[in-house]
Chains A and B, each alone.
Chain A
Amino acid sequence: ETGVTQTPRHLVMGMTNKKSLKCEQHLGHNAMYWYKQSAKKPLELMFVYNFKEQTENNSVPSRFSPECPNSSHLFLHLHTLQPEDSALYLCASSQDGRLAYNEQFFGPGTRLTVL
């Protein structure tokens, strides 16, 4: 595997379910990101982890819970979601989250549908 991978690619869940999104990067990067892409809206940054420490929580509701056990893996735990949470969730990584110029490499995304 190369680059940034995300599983699952598609997920359908009910509002009472608990599920997790997984992201893995094979680039040796130290920063990882979760973004939300809703229809007809710009990408929204959700969380940033730099060297396994969370450095950014962009006012995300607590029903989204990130976890970064090491620099290569990032999870997004989901529980009691709402239909408006349906979106494409993109994971990205970069060499160092503290650098202003910081090319981010994105995964293919997880298409989430909340029923």
Chain B
Amino acid sequence: AQKITQTQPGMFVQEKEAVTLDCTYDTSDQSYGLFWYKQPSSGEMIFLIYQGSYDEQNATEGRYSLNFQKARKSANLVISASQLGDSAMYFCAWVGTNSKLTFGKGITLSVRP
């Protein structure tokens, strides 16, 4: 079974600084995708970024970038220039050819003013 690991218990970052949220996965599939979602206290899961296993370049979406290291099976999320509104839970998720999303446990990010 696929496994997504997010081990950081909680992260703190100063406003305007960059932060990296870690995610590792375990799969024997050759074709898969990785997602990051943000969940603020309101509960809604907000899509941030997607990386396909065959994408040669790291995905970027505005202030979000994904540091994809396929051989190490890691897909870390980098948030640049942190804002107070970035304080939330962040979930890494994996999808394979069965089209089922498997989520990690999540990481709490707190941005300090």
* CB atoms of B104 and A42 under 8 A apart: yes
Across the interface, name the chain A residue whose C-beta is closest to B106: A42
Closest chain B residue, CB of each to CB of A55: B99
- CB within 8 Å of B: which A91-113 residues: 92, 97-109, 111
Q: Which chain A residues border B42 with CB–CB below 8 Å? A: 108
Residue A45, interface by CB 8 Å: yes
Given contacts A100-B96, A101-B33, A102-B95, contact A90 B4 (CB under 8 A): no
Distance, CA A41 to CA B103, complexed state (A):
10
List the B residue with the shortest CB-CB distance to A88: B43
* Residue in B47, B99, B103 whose beta carbon sits within 8 Å of that of A42 in the complex: B103
| A103 and B50 form a contact (CB under 8 A) | yes
Residues of A within 8 A of B (CB): 40-43, 45, 48, 56, 88, 90, 92, 97-109, 111
Do residues A103 and B47 form an inter-chain contact, with CB atoms below 8 A?
yes
- A108 — which chain B residues lie within 8 A by C-beta? 42-44
- Which residues of chain A have C-beta atoms less than 8 A from B105's C-beta? 40-42
What is the predominant secondary structure among interface residues of chain A facing chain B? loop
- Inter-chain CA distance A75–B45, complex, in Å, is 19
> Are A45 and B50 interface neighbours, CB within 8 A?
no
B25 close to A (CB within 8 Å): no
Q: How far is the CA of A101 from the CA of B42 in the complex (A)?
A: 26
> Which residues of the other chain, A, contact B50 by a CB distance below 8 angstroms?
101, 103
Q: Tell whether, in the assembled complex, residue A105 and residue B47 are in contact, meaning their CB atoms are under 8 Å apart.
A: yes
Complex A-B, nearest 6 residue pairs according to Cβ-Cβ distance, in ascending order: A106-B45, A109-B43, A43-B103, A108-B44, A42-B103, A108-B43
* Neighbouring A residues of B43 by C-beta, 8 Å: 88, 90, 108-109, 111
Using A100-B95, A106-B37 as known contacts, list a sample of 19 further A-B pairs with CB atoms less than 8 Å apart, ordered by residue number in A.
A40-B105, A41-B105, A42-B102, A42-B103, A42-B104, A43-B93, A45-B101, A90-B43, A100-B33, A100-B97, A100-B99, A103-B47, A104-B47, A104-B101, A106-B45, A107-B44, A108-B42, A108-B43, A109-B43
